[in-house]
């Protein structure tokens, strides 16, 4: 891979992250772009480029959607050998992401960056 291609790949990965951040922010594109100092036309041009890249991929390379289930469970603190849940862990909602034999439990305090990191890791499995 040439340096030019590597730079393009890195730049487009940054665009994907920005697009994802915008879409998950809950803000309108114009508001999000204003907060980031980005022209809305630039945002939409980048979105078009990324979409075209995804459409050009062979079907075998398109990322599969990973099903996510939400459950409410009581956690038991095993490190203290107690059978009762700790008050801060009681009845905590969590998201569970499963792919094959791999299961990741995401507690309510997890950040968006951590979720993205876990999903990228699952993609490599």
Q: Could you write out the DSSP letters of every residue in 25-51?
A: S-S-HHHHHHHHT--HHHHHHHHHHHH
| The dihedral sign for the CA sequence 33, 27, 117, 102 | negative
**pLDDT top residue among 5 and 73:** 5
Residue 25 CA, distance from chain mean position: 12
**pLDDT top residue among 97 and 15:** 15
The predicted model scores a pTM of 0.49
Predicted local confidence at residue 63, as pLDDT:
59
**pLDDT top residue among 70 and 63:** 63
Distance CA 115, CA 120 (A): 9
Specify the DSSP class assigned to residue 99. Answer: E
Predicted local confidence at residue 53, as pLDDT:
87
- Do 123 and 63 meet the contact criterion of CB atoms below 8 Å apart? yes
Distance CA 8, CA 120 (A): 20
Q: What is the pLDDT of residues 32-55, one digit of tens each?
A: 999 999 999 999 999 999 989 888
Region for 99 from its dihedrals, namely left if φ exceeds 0, alpha if ψ lies in -120 to 50, beta otherwise: beta
């Amino acid at each position: 891979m040439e340096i030019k291609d590597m730079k393009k790949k890195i730049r487009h990965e940054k665009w994907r992250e920005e697009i994802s951040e915008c879409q998950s922010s809950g803000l309108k594109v114009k508001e999000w772009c204003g907060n980031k100092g980005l022209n809305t036309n630039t945002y939409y041009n980048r979105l078009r480029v990324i979409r075209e890249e995804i459409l050009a991929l062979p079907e075998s390379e398109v990322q599969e959607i990973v099903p996510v289930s939400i459950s409410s469970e009581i956690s038991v603190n095993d490190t203290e050998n107690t059978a009762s849940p700790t008050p801060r862990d009681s009845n905590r909602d969590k998201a569970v992401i499963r792919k094959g034999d791999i299961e990741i439990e995401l507690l309510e305090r997890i950040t968006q960056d951590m979720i993205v990191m876990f999903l990228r890791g699952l993609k490599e499995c």
